[in-house]
Amino acid sequence: MALFARSQLAFIGLIILSLILILAILTPWLPLNDPNVIDTSNRFKRPFSEDSILGTDHLGRDLLSRLLWGTRLSIAVGLCAAIIAAFIGSAIGVIAGFYGGHTDNIIMRGVDMLMAFPYILLALAIVAALGPGLMNALIAVAIVNIPFFARNIRGVTLGIVHREFVDAARLSGMSNAKIIINEILPNVFPVIVVAMSTTVGWMILETAGLSFLGLGSQPPQADLGSMLGEARAAIITSPHTSVVPGVMILIIVMAINLVGDGIRDVLDPRLKSGALSTPRSTTEVAKNKSDAGLKTQTLLSINGLKTEFRIGNRILKAVNDVSLTVDKGQCVGIIGESGSGKSVTALSIMRLVSSPPGIITDGSIDFKGDDLLKLSSEDLRDFRGKKVSYVFQDPLSTLHPLYTVGQQLSEAIQSHNHVGKLEKHKKALELLQAVRISNPEKRLNSYPHELSGGMRQRIGIAMALANDPDIIIADEPTTALDVTVQAQILKLFQDLRREKGLALVFITHDFGVISQICDKVAVMYAGKIVETGPAAEILKSPAHPYTARLKSCVPELGQGKRNLIAIPGFPPMIDNMPSGCAFASRCEKVKQNCQSAMVDVKKIGQERAVRCLFPEEIKAG
Amino acid sequence: MIAYIIKRLLSAIPVLLGISVIVFIIMALIPGDPATAILGSFATPENVEKLNRDLGLDKPMIQRYFIWLGNMLQGDFGRSFSLNKDVLDEISERFGATLVLAGVSFVLCSILGVVAGVLSASRQFGITDKLITLSVLIGISIPSFFLGMMMILFFSVQLRWFPVSGMWPIYGARDLSALLSHLFLPALALSVVATGVIARLSRSAMLEVLRQDFIRTARAKGLSEARVIWRHALKAAMVSVIPVLGVQAGFVLSGAVYIEMVFQWPGVGRMLVEAILKRDILLVQGGVVFVAACYVMFNIVVDIIQSLLDPRIKT
């Protein structure tokens, strides 16, 4: 019951369905008129007339009584068909999946043949052979649905037949039949239930359809379909005789579908986590966010940014009070472990954090004096890709698989400049040359899957360059690539910076990368920046214990004797942050007051700042 | 590309043979004696025997199958006893009407279904999404024949906007506008269920795609939301929608049976039902094989469209 309560609609469906089922079961004991007594003097009596609530049909038979008996018959036939189809179909599916090989091949070819028929046509052919009649219609509908079950159940069986518990059962000497009954069946049963709950509705419709055509139940016996079929001739003069059974079918099938959807939703675990909601085009910004914007002369300045993920009752503070500036032409590195909030910070700048569940709750992001968090989605669109562009980590999943490189590049150009076809083509070629792709003319017609990883990342960079942005944010652009390609891409970034004078925000977990290209670095830990300053100085003498530990995780060439020390412990859960320093539990130098209160940022030297009560001593440069 | 098309066409041959075998087996299961069915229960044994010989029913099953198959390949589907007419002639006269009805319905349900699914997904949990989801639920739960009857009652009888039944006016010109006014209601009634199924699937396919990384890339480029949804997301979602369109074509083609009965549409479906009730086996057999074969060919077209859309399919 608790399962259904989650979805109100499914619950309503369940109530309606139960009511109808109870009525259908109780029909023989209800004080109804005989459904088959013909009284031609009382033909086509309107509903709500004396002694017949729903009126009478073309032979003067009581419609209410016929409706309930018909409902009983329709549901019974639909259910029987579903059970037969589920039983035979599942058996075929389990056998095909369990034995595999030739057995599977032969069975599934046969199933494919049956599926090559248009659904109802096959049922018609079977009824044609067996002759009209309710039993034959039932058989036909069941047979037609067998392939559906066989296919689904075979798929599930294939998925579990090589799992450990099946192997264990085999090794313990169980017979195949026993394994199927004891190990396989309990695991495929939920799938059978779901498949049945989604098909019972169809089967009731199909049997009703065959009866409607006169191929199912034969008079005087009537199910809902044949009631409709008989009423069709009088549709204009006495529509109630059609409406009554028709609406009943609609209600039954709708209730079943509601319940079926409810069952499916419950058995689909992804729905529970809320992961099924899709992100909107821009990250939501909390309405009560303070106006913290500082009008600065810097190109980009992030002040007190807070980005959270709200999943159910949990609030994950992914970015918690981050401030950072990027000057013109500067390369700023953001470094940290996975989950430290570095990507979310970068995505927040573009307002590309998935929302829901993401929401920016506070802070400001000033770009040339405009707060990006206050832009309308229309203005934001104008900003994205034109002023600031983004290079993503995995170039395979971030390029559209069905558009050619050329199409994706021209689209990036087109989105901010309305240029002619020729010019677009020329510009696309230039971009490919700029990212050092050989044979650019040919590459324009390639699809992403036809390119190597490094080449795809170059395309990603070319796309980011399309509108000569002021800043490129590169989110671990080399992580998915192998080392030599990594070096080439880093060099490309360096060259582009020099040629175009653009600023770069480089996100990485690798101090080696920082040392190669960054002017400035911000070290992030558990959603906060724990240390900032010029890259060279921080690399030489880190002030925060975390930076120091992170740095010593990196192997250095020619320093083989040094021990690589992993940082013990794990970062704190960001929905349950300690009140003091987040790193305290992993820090070697932890003192008592580290854990008592929030640690503030402290300036050390001219350009450096650290969030630590007891920073390392800075060696003079 | 041409190699792929040829390959797909060749792969249809075993399927078509399989279909013919299944139809033949089903028809061979018929209890009783077709000759008796044709001649009626008062026929003399001599006449029954003669007819059996004429129909080739005295030969072994396998031989009968190949004779039947060979005749069909030469365009000889046999003779309908109830209509006293060549089966293939009757089918080809009727099939045009079904094709018009099912074709228009298919186009309708594909467009409406996909558009509804996309709108619903792009406004997930919004009021549009809820309204569409509810209409879809009703759409897939309503029997098309009941819907057709209600449409006749409301639009044809009450409002008198459309003719009650048939494909052409009894008197008057058989022009396009006459056809369209006769076609509108049946095509709509036939498309409703398939529209619902396609809308549901398009919605979930779109929701799946909208979570993908390349959608974020498209947004990072500064594309308009309309372009992100109707170009980038929809194109990727169509990869999983198109195969379902193929399946739905089968539902529409065979579901036409009900609609043809309700609207007195002179198509193959109505022919089949009448033939089944008269136990005109050859006509049923021919009709089923013909429609199933058309459906197989249509699915090949669907596969080819799919391969044009998705360059990752090896052609």
Average pLDDT, chain A: 84
Nearest-Cα distance to chain A for B173, in Å, is 26
Which string of b and e fits B78-105 if b means at least 16 CB within 10 Å?
bbbbebeebbbebbeebbebbbbbbebb
Question: Which chain A residues touch B26 with a CB distance below 8 Å?
Answer: 125-126, 128-129
At residue A4 the predicted structure's pLDDT band, cuts being 50, 70 and 90, is: very low
Q: Which residues of B are less than 8 Å from A130 in CB distance?
A: 29-31
What pLDDT, in 10s, does the model give residues B283-293?
888 899 988 88
Contacts of A397 in chain B (CB under 8 A): 212-214
CA angle A15, A21, A26 (to 5 degrees): 125
pLDDT digits (tens, 9 = 90+) for B213-245: 899 999 999 888 899 999 999 999 998 899 889
Q: How many residues belong to chain B? A: 315
A488, A434 in Cβ contact below 8 A?
no
Please, what is the Cα angle at B278 between B277 and B279, to 5 degrees?
90
Mean pLDDT of chain B: 86
Please check whether residue A46 touches B, CB under 8 A.
no
Query: Given an 8 Å threshold on Cβ–Cβ distance, is A276 in contact with B216?
Result: no
List Cβ<8 Å contacts ≥24 apart for A12-16: A12/A258, A13/A254, A13/A255, A13/A256, A13/A257, A13/A258, A13/A259, A13/A261, A13/A262, A14/A255, A14/A258, A14/A259, A14/A262, A16/A251, A16/A254, A16/A255, A16/A258
SS3 A371: strand
Cα A350 off chain centre by: 22
* Helices marked H in chain B: 2-28, 34-39, 45-55, 61-73, 87-122, 127-141, 144-151, 176-210, 213-220, 225-227, 234-262, 268-277, 281-309
* Average pLDDT score over residue span A194-221: 88
Q: What's the rounded Cα separation, in Å, for the pair A223 and A77?
A: 9
What pLDDT digit, counting tens, does each position of A28-52 carry? 888 777 777 777 777 777 777 766 7
The number of residues in chain A equals 621
Q: What is the DSSP letter of A50?
A: T
Residues from chain A that touch B310, judged by Cβ atoms under 8 A, are: 401-402
| Cβ of residue B15 closer than 8 Å to a chain A Cβ | yes
The pair of three-digit structure tokens given for residue A430, joined into one six-digit string: 């230039």
Interface probe for B, chosen from A281, A399, A449 (most Cβ of B below 10 Å), is A281
Whether chain A has a CB inside 8 Å of the CB on B221: the answer is: yes
DSSP A436-489: T-SSHHHHTT--GGGS-HHHHHHHHHHHHHTT--SEEEEESTTTTS-HHHHHHH
Could B143 and A250 be called an inter-chain contact, meaning their C-beta atoms sit closer than 8 Å? yes
Q: How far is A10 from chain B (nearest CA, A)?
A: 12
* pLDDT at residue B190 greater than cutoff 90: yes
Q: Is the peptide bond before A220 cis (omega within 30 degrees of 0)?
A: yes
Rounded to the nearest 10 degrees, how much is the dihedral formed by the CA atoms of B15, B16, B22, B26? 160
Q: What is the pLDDT of residues A233-282, one digit of tens each?
A: 888 888 888 888 899 999 999 999 888 888 877 776 555 444 457 778 88
Structure confidence at residue A275 (pLDDT)? 47
Is B166 at the interface with chain A, CB within 8 A?
Answer: no
- Eight-state DSSP code of residue B230: I
Tokens describing residue A207? 């049997």
Examine the predicted complex and report whether its ipTM is higher than 0.85.
yes
Write down the pLDDT at residue A393: 85
CB spacing of A257 vs B140 below 8 angstroms: yes
pLDDT, tens digit (0-9, with 9 covering 90-100), for B69-85 = 888 888 888 888 788 88
Structure tokens at B259: 């609609």
Q: Which residue has the higher pLDDT, A231 or B55?
A: A231
Q: Which amino acid is at A352?
A: L
Q: CB-based contact (8 Å) between B312 and chain A?
A: yes
Q: Report yes or no on whether pTM surpasses 0.90.
A: no
